[in-house]
Structure 1
Amino acid sequence: MSAANSPHNDQQPMAPPGTGPVRIGQPVPRVDGVAKVTGHARYAAEHPAQGLLYGVVVNSTIARGRIDSIDTGDALAVPGVVDVLSHLNRPKMRSLGMLYKDMIAPEGSPFKPLHDDRICYSGQPVALVIAQTFEAARHAAGLVRVHCCAEPHETELRAGLHRSHIPSRLKAGYSPPPKPRGDADAALAAAPVQHRGEYYSGVEHHNPMEMHATTVIYGPDGHLTIYDKTQGSQNCRWVVSRAFGLSKDKVTVRNPYVGGAFGSGLRPQYPLLMAVMAALHVKRSVRVVLTRQQMFTFGHRPETLQRVALGADTDGTLRSIIHEAVAETSRFEDYVEVVVNWSGQLYRCDNVRQNYQLVKLDQYTPIDMRAPGAAHGVYALEVAMDELAHRLGMDPLALRLKNYAEHDAAKGLPFSTKALRTCYERGAERFGWAQRPLAPRSMRDGRVWVGWGMATGTWDASQMFARARARLQADGVLVVSSAATDIGTGTYTVMAQIAAAAMGWPLEQVRFELGDSTLPVAPVEGGSSHVTTIGSAVEGACEKLQKTLLKEAARLPQSPFAKATAAHVIFENGWMRLRSDPAVAIRLTDILACAGKAALEVTYLLLPNMLKQKKYVRATHSAVFCEVRVDEDFGTVRVTRVVSVVDAGRIINPKTARSQVIGGVVWGISQALHEETLADHRLGRFMNHNYAEYHIPVNADMPEVEVIFTEEEDRIVSRLGAKGVGEIGIVGVAAAISNAIFHATGRRVRSTPMTPDKVMAAEGNADTA
């Protein structure tokens, strides 16, 4: 029995009967949909355990300093309270910082909860109340008195610009800005048309529907079965086993269902380590669930300040691009993002200079948030391009086409595929861009100004290594498995679809197992790489299984397949047939029966073809067109129409892919108009840490979003031809909205979110931030 089917785990979802054969590119409904809408899908805080205890976190109220004392007397007196953990009495843990590093950790020493008396940021966990009921633990947590000695803190990015530094290169996926090419400063000074602008993006927090939670089931032999809200079960097992000095055989981490994460679950969060501490301390099962307010006490999208300067000839030819960014990080880690690099890749220009620096603040380390780096960096570039187009008296789309890049000049490499020009053409046609008047404040409906804006989006297309296992059972069920994660993106569905298409097997007889650290190795789910990676491994495993079935069939007495090779047979609807004579066929389950086997199982290792891939730049692209309506009296902005055309390679499932892009557009609208976590820097604390004050859009804020996919495949990125769609949907949306606001009002707002007060305060020219 596989771990994913063990008694502790929910049954993995399967398509309903009657689904039948499927193909790649078919809009298949989610196989996990019924489980989710009926409540049968269990999330991290919903798995039962006998004698379960509950932990509630106590957080610090200062931004920097030391704990003088912790008074737990009143808390321990609450009926049902078992104990209160702190740095004074936690179970033994290893001290070396590198042992707390997860698989995608940046340079530095990761945060270690309850490690010592140091306070590194406001909201830091300083104690954990363990009780027989959640209510008792929550009440007692309010009675824990933590006395601290506060030290001077600094949480304001602008105040720390004088001590910014170049970050370490030691983070997976981080590419430092390339070396300058040409002389960007001299070219800018000589350009007849110039634009310089400063762009600011505030802090955002992830706020998925499911809050971070960990349930640790303490087995009779001391084995820990952990249900955690994470984007990587094996990443969490890695950290737990190393931090506590446990054999990985003593730790199993599962995440069969994740209620959204968007990057917040890429790295293990402090509830995981604290729940394990508690379980080891009391030798019982423990659950720790964060409140909505506590969801603001760990990583976030970093506050970022950017400066962009563009120089061009009067015909729009770019002569200079300068893009500089400064972002925040914690005192203990150098969190990095690829913010400025896109500016040297997206447009053709001979003179480019880019710079990216960090400022260490007394805050928790930021973490990746949907399209990290691009959501901010492409925003600044694309607003600057719109401003340059206005100075030139040129259509913004025409300016982009004028400087279209057929290859990446920074790396001197061609793109594996690039259909951005098609995105521009199809989006402009669908949106009706040709009818757009060039001058701002040209379209009005009563007292409402109407504006049209557009922007380009881009994101990396990547692939990692992974394993997948395929097992055909005698009962006719094809089980494919990998330690992948489904954070709501449709992984269950798409992987089952890939397996069914590869094997010619009915979808309702395919089960994809994921979310278990004991399954074949898989990378952390992030960066829009799961389909290119896990999907390719699944297809490879199915092809390997087909070859194994053919060998078994060839061994049968008087087999018509005795001399057949893989090229001689086809697999369809549960049968293997000779291509030359389809009437010669055998049911796959009959092969197992004749061979006397209960199942056939193979494992496939996917290793990216780096020798081939390194010869190309691999990227997704998009063109976003939007319409806004701006109330002249109140400065309120409503997005009324969006067309997003996406170049993401081969689309495996248009239904789930479209949902991903729509979700990205929704978040792009939220980034543009709604979201920002505000800090009181006197206290060094985020203040609007709830849904009442952290503004997010609702259904009434959303327009109809039309998603169009280009028709092209990229066999360099993946054997499937897919590139990935998770991130690209958000990139460029905020810029398109900013540009539409300018077109509507003639007012330029260069900071997000573009709230009514900023729209009203902005002066009516292109030079005012």
Structure 2
Amino acid sequence: MKTSYSIGKPIDRLEGHLKVTGAATYAAEYEVGDLLHGYVVNSTITKGEIIDIDEQAARELPGVIEVFSHNNRSKLPWFDILYADMDAPPGTPFKPLYDENVLYNGQPIALVVAETFETARYAASLIKITYEESKFKTSLLSNLQDSRSPKKGMATVVKPLPPDDKGNFEKAYAAANVNYEGEFNHPPEHHNPLELFATTTVYEGKGKLTVYDKTQGTSNSQLYIANIFGLHYKNVRVIAPFVGGGFGSGLRPQYQLFLCVMASLQLKRNVRVAMDRSQMFTFGHRPPTYQKTKFGASKDGMLTALHHTAIAETSQNEDYNEVVVNWGGMLYPVKNTEFDYKLVSLDVFTPMDMRAPGGSTGMHAIETSMDALSYALNMDPLEFRLLNYSETDESANKPFSSKELKACYQKASEAFGWEQRNPKPRTTKRGQRLVGTGMSSGIWDVIALPGKAKASLNKKGQLKVKSAVTDIGTGTRTIMTQIAADSLGMTLDNVVFEYGDSKMPLAPIQGGSYTTGVIGSAVKAVCEALKKKILKAVKRVEASSFKGATLDDVIFSDNYIKLKKDPNIGFSFQQLVSDNGKKLKASKSNIPNAFKLKKYTRAAHSAAFVEVEVDEQLGTIKVTRAVTAVAAGKIINPKTARSQILGGMIWGIGKALQEETLIDHNLGKYMNTNLGEYHIPVHADINDLEVIFVEEKDDIINELGAKGVGEIGLVSMAPAIANAIYHATGKRINNFPIHFDDLL
């Protein structure tokens, strides 16, 4: 029998059939007896105080059990000393129903609990709120003068603030032969995954809860509930095996979790609270950001000066920050640099991570500026980037753990046919449509965090591996099964990966493209530990044949342990466990070697090449084809990885051309809080997309050499589209999304 090595194979998602047939169960779908339903009442003003809540009509409605507000919520041990969750930025987390103060438009101010969802929703419409309104500010661009540096905290360890300035930027910029200065505006965006946020809380009694939550981290929701409500961690179990998309919106616990658990504890009943689509716009979002760049180059095309500043929105109570301006110095070797990143506190909910946070914003400004400079130099945009290519991160004076961006350029440009383009803008046409091509680089950090996994072999010869990590639709269950199977030389049908349950070994929240490296390395480590126990057990059963054997003397293949020198001598795992009389178990944590890792800059890279057609009369824009090449270390499953990159490319189309949350600053309110008016790409918007994975070996980043692919497909796509639109039309539009009226 031949060993089934599964890493690198395009395995179908193991849970795919459950999802497409509707058999997968999500947070609002669990069958729970004696269940009450909650519906949230949201504030209709942006800032002020609640003077009165008239609940009489709602309470008189048959089926209504309770109406919660700041007036009657239970007194809680609010967790003010430390961060309330793993992803909390510096400041004070938002506290639902805390007092009479309204901090932002859409703030939850009451919860109606009733026998049915429909009753709760109707009763919520009967509640009358009297407010005293205060002046507010929600416009970033109108308040840039109030910008300040972000406060430092735990979040800035993972999201570093800008590097120190180098050289003399002003002198170098003034002396440059060619200059480009640009301003960039990015609007707020909301995540809008298909599954709405919901929580089902099962009241077990004696301070015990089982919570089915829409979350990207079961351990994080457990931490939050225990801290906020003063419960023992072991008495709080959070389950989330299926998550209908997250994109970062589930990294932090959302307010429906708090309200649902609060109601369950106070009523001592099972309770479910689910948001509707409009309520999905009443919590975190990608922050609007204003950027300014100044790039200078010598006449031979070498970058000599690089300035990048960004000013972003945050709330009044927390300092949410992103890595926006750091990327240019990491990508390009420039001796004179100046970076700055500031925040403006506004009367909004705290922004939060949204796929490629900071990267998709910052790379647009950087790569558009690079494109503009290449045209000013009369140099091919790809040639310009290759001329300024570096194998080291000059901003940190460190080598990259690996960097195959040059190969990305080569393979993607060849597949795209870049050399065939007419370099002059507004010269290529198809009928009434102007045709343009553009390209962009992409970069995303590789984050190293600790994670834990447990593994066991049972009497059926089946390997079970456990971790609390969630699977937000990226294929985590599948690739972890592949890693485990490969580590022990087992077939996939004999491996079960259990996940999405806080009672399992601790896992960080799933985001930042680090799950494969973090939990995958823990899975590999625990399987390596289990190998030692298997060898020890086989020595007890078959002492003569395996006497003195070390792990170097054996192979694990086809669900067997065998001697290398004579593969005919071996034991099946099933027989071994049966003879041993009990399961073989192991537990292992993946602890990154911080001393080793800090010597390197660790990043995934990409290159995107895009063709657009722009109707010369109407200004409508169509992305006709695109190629993205990615260097992200070892690709565990090229099928699920390709889906991730395709998703990022499609999101890039949306970011460049469609996606924005419109806010009326006179009301302080988002106006397009539905999927009819919040535009995202549909099938008709998507044409020929190609993904190429470049071979890249990295022995430094983690045990697997895997960098992750969730974000890297997005960061390079949107700027490539903007650059292609310039090539098609000769107009440089720096504000996203680019609308047809910008081109008329």
Residue 413 of structure 2 corresponds to residue 428 of structure 1: yes
Contact 1:416-1:616 at 8 Å conserved across structures: yes
CA-CA distance at 1:48 after TM superposition: 1.5
1:545 paired residue number: 530
Residue 229 of structure 2 corresponds to residue 244 of structure 1: yes
CA-CA distance at 1:691 after TM superposition: 0.8
CA-CA distance at 1:220 after TM superposition: 3.7
CA-CA distance at 1:627 after TM superposition: 0.3
Residue 305 of structure 2 corresponds to residue 305 of structure 1: no
Distance (Å, rounded) in 1 between the aligned partners of 2:600 and 2:543: 49
1:399 paired residue number: 384
Distance (Å, rounded) in 2 between the aligned partners of 1:273 and 1:218: 14
Contact 1:506-1:574 at 8 Å conserved across structures: yes
CA-CA distance at 1:558 after TM superposition: 4.2
CA-CA distance at 1:222 after TM superposition: 3.8
2:699 paired residue number: 715
Amino acid at match of 2:328: S
Distance (Å, rounded) in 1 between the aligned partners of 2:536 and 2:529: 11
1:532 paired residue number: 517
CA-CA distance at 1:399 after TM superposition: 0.7
1:48 paired residue number: 31
Q: Of 13, 34, 37, which aligns to 2:20?
A: 37
1:734 paired residue number: 718
Q: Of 121, 127, 144, which aligns to 1:144?
A: 127
Residue 503 of structure 2 corresponds to residue 518 of structure 1: yes
Three-state SS of the structure 1 residue aligned to 2:461 is: coil
Q: Of 142, 161, 171, which aligns to 1:186?
A: 171
Q: How does 1:280-679 map to 2 (within 5 A)?
A: 280-597=265-582, 599-679=583-663
Distance (Å, rounded) in 2 between the aligned partners of 1:243 and 1:46: 25
Per mean C-alpha deviation after superposition, the further-off stretch among 353-362 and 575-584 is: 575-584
Q: Evaluate the alpha carbon distance shift between residue 541 and residue 743 of structure 1 in structure 2; reply closer, same or farther with a 3 A threshold.
A: same
Amino acid at match of 1:49: V
CA-CA distance at 1:221 after TM superposition: 3.5
Q: Evaluate the alpha carbon distance shift between residue 473 and residue 321 of structure 1 in structure 2; reply closer, same or farther with a 3 A threshold.
A: same
Deviations 1:595-640 (A, max 9, x none): 212x111001111011211111000000000000000111110001
Contact 2:58-2:126 at 8 Å conserved across structures: yes
Amino acid at match of 2:17: V
Three-state SS of the structure 2 residue aligned to 1:505 is: coil
Three-state SS of the structure 1 residue aligned to 2:545 is: coil
1:25 paired residue number: 8
Distance (Å, rounded) in 2 between the aligned partners of 1:706 and 1:559: 56
Deviations 1:328-382 (A, max 9, x none): 0000000000000001111111001000000000000000000000000011100
1:116 paired residue number: 99
Q: How does 1:13-162 map to 2 (within 5 A)?
A: 21-98=4-81, 101-162=84-145
Residue 200 of structure 2 corresponds to residue 215 of structure 1: yes
Deviations 1:141-183 (A, max 9, x none): 1111111100000000011111100001211412010110001
Contact 1:553-1:562 at 8 Å conserved across structures: no
Contact 1:63-1:122 at 8 Å conserved across structures: yes
Amino acid at match of 2:502: S
Distance (Å, rounded) in 1 between the aligned partners of 2:178 and 2:207: 70
Contact 1:494-1:653 at 8 Å conserved across structures: yes
Contact 1:110-1:333 at 8 Å conserved across structures: yes
Amino acid at match of 1:144: I
1:15 paired residue number: none
1:271 paired residue number: 256
1:686 paired residue number: 670
Three-state SS of the structure 1 residue aligned to 2:713 is: coil
Amino acid at match of 1:293: S
Q: Of 734, 748, 751, which aligns to 2:735?
A: 751
- Structure 1, unaligned stretches of length 5 or more? 1-17, 761-769
Contact 1:53-1:131 at 8 Å conserved across structures: yes
CA-CA distance at 1:21 after TM superposition: 2.9
Amino acid at match of 2:58: A
- Cα root mean square deviation, aligned: 1.2
Three-state SS of the structure 2 residue aligned to 1:479 is: strand
Contact 1:19-1:508 at 8 Å conserved across structures: no
TM value normalised by structure 1: 0.95
Three-state SS of the structure 2 residue aligned to 1:591 is: helix
Residue 241 of structure 2 corresponds to residue 256 of structure 1: yes
Amino acid at match of 1:348: P
Contact 1:20-1:507 at 8 Å conserved across structures: no
CA-CA distance at 1:96 after TM superposition: 4.9
Distance (Å, rounded) in 1 between the aligned partners of 2:498 and 2:535: 25
Percent sequence identity over matched residues?
50
Contact 2:205-2:268 at 8 Å conserved across structures: no
Per mean C-alpha deviation after superposition, the further-off stretch among 433-442 and 327-336 is: 433-442
Residue 669 of structure 2 corresponds to residue 703 of structure 1: no
Q: Evaluate the alpha carbon distance shift between residue 185 and residue 499 of structure 1 in structure 2; reply closer, same or farther with a 3 A threshold.
A: same
TM value normalised by structure 2: 0.99
Three-state SS of the structure 2 residue aligned to 1:730 is: helix
CA-CA distance at 1:103 after TM superposition: 1.4
Amino acid at match of 1:123: G
CA-CA distance at 1:264 after TM superposition: 0.2
Contact 2:181-2:293 at 8 Å conserved across structures: yes
Count of residues paired in the alignment: 742
Amino acid at match of 2:706: A
Three-state SS of the structure 1 residue aligned to 2:160 is: coil
Contact 2:78-2:227 at 8 Å conserved across structures: no
CA-CA distance at 1:486 after TM superposition: 0.3
Amino acid at match of 1:111: F
Amino acid at match of 1:38: T
Distance (Å, rounded) in 1 between the aligned partners of 2:269 and 2:2: 44
Deviations 1:258-314 (A, max 9, x none): 000000000111000000111011110100100000000000000000000011111
Distance (Å, rounded) in 1 between the aligned partners of 2:426 and 2:542: 82
Three-state SS of the structure 1 residue aligned to 2:437 is: strand
Distance (Å, rounded) in 2 between the aligned partners of 1:449 and 1:375: 26
Distance (Å, rounded) in 1 between the aligned partners of 2:670 and 2:401: 43
Deviations 1:435-473 (A, max 9, x none): 111110121011100000000010001221011101111
Distance (Å, rounded) in 1 between the aligned partners of 2:577 and 2:297: 69
Contact 2:188-2:660 at 8 Å conserved across structures: yes
Three-state SS of the structure 1 residue aligned to 2:126 is: coil
CA-CA distance at 1:757 after TM superposition: 1.3
Q: Evaluate the alpha carbon distance shift between residue 33 and residue 361 of structure 1 in structure 2; reply closer, same or farther with a 3 A threshold.
A: same
Amino acid at match of 2:233: K
Contact 2:79-2:227 at 8 Å conserved across structures: no
Contact 1:553-1:559 at 8 Å conserved across structures: no
